[in-house]
Amino acid sequence: MPLKFVEYDRRFLLASRRWLRDPEMAALTITPPFTDEEQESWFLSLPSKTNYAVWGVEFNGEPVGVVGLKGITADGAEYFGYLGDKGAWGFGHGSAMLAFAINEAKIRGCSQVHLRVWKENQRAISLYLRHGFELAREEGLLLYMDRHV
């Protein structure tokens, strides 16, 4: 059964809270510590964000990750995505998530998708290179990559 991209609802909020507090996931996704209140405030602000789009990622009806675009303009958008359910790693879901987000960027008229990734996250870097992203610059522990859409 393929991945399903659905509305980012409270199920994904609560799963993300758990996933992103795992030290490995926090490092891989460059997520700073956050409180429940901060996350709730972010969640409640989603309907008013016009330059932001986020989806929950389901596999067999269960939340396994999150994918989205932020800072959306005609010039581009920043991709973000993660598989929080480690049991879903290694099955090609990252490719499906990236393809989905690139298509959504095209639909929104973006000319480019960019991202930032922790330079130790070799699995993600390999994924991005396979999907046409190129290194734009390196700053400290982060790599910045771009792809025309």
**Tens of pLDDT, residues 37-63:** 999 999 999 999 999 999 999 999 999
**Phi, psi at residue 57, to the nearest 5°?**
-115, 120
Range of the domain at 105: 4-111
Residues 129 and 113: their CA atoms lie apart, in Å, by 13
Q: Judge whether 95 and 103 are in contact, CB under 8 Å.
A: no
What's the pLDDT band for 1 if we cut at 50, 70, 90? low
| SS3 category, 87 | helix
Residue 80 lies in a domain: yes
Evaluate whether residue 13 is within a structural domain.
Answer: yes
* Tokens encoding 122: 């070799």
- Is residue 143 a part of any domain in this protein? no
Q: Looking at the domain assignment, is residue 132 inside a domain?
A: no
129 within some domain = no
Domain count, the chain: 1
Using DSSP's 3-state secondary structure scheme, residue 63 falls into: strand
Whether residue 128 is contained in a domain is answered as no
If you search the block for the tokens 């959306």, which residue do you land on? Answer: 72
Question: Residue 40 sits in a domain of what CATH number?
Answer: 3.40.630.30
Position 28 in a domain: yes
Q: Is the model's pTM score more than 0.85? A: yes
Kindly state the tokens that stand for 115: 């991202």
What is the three-class DSSP state of 106?
Answer: helix
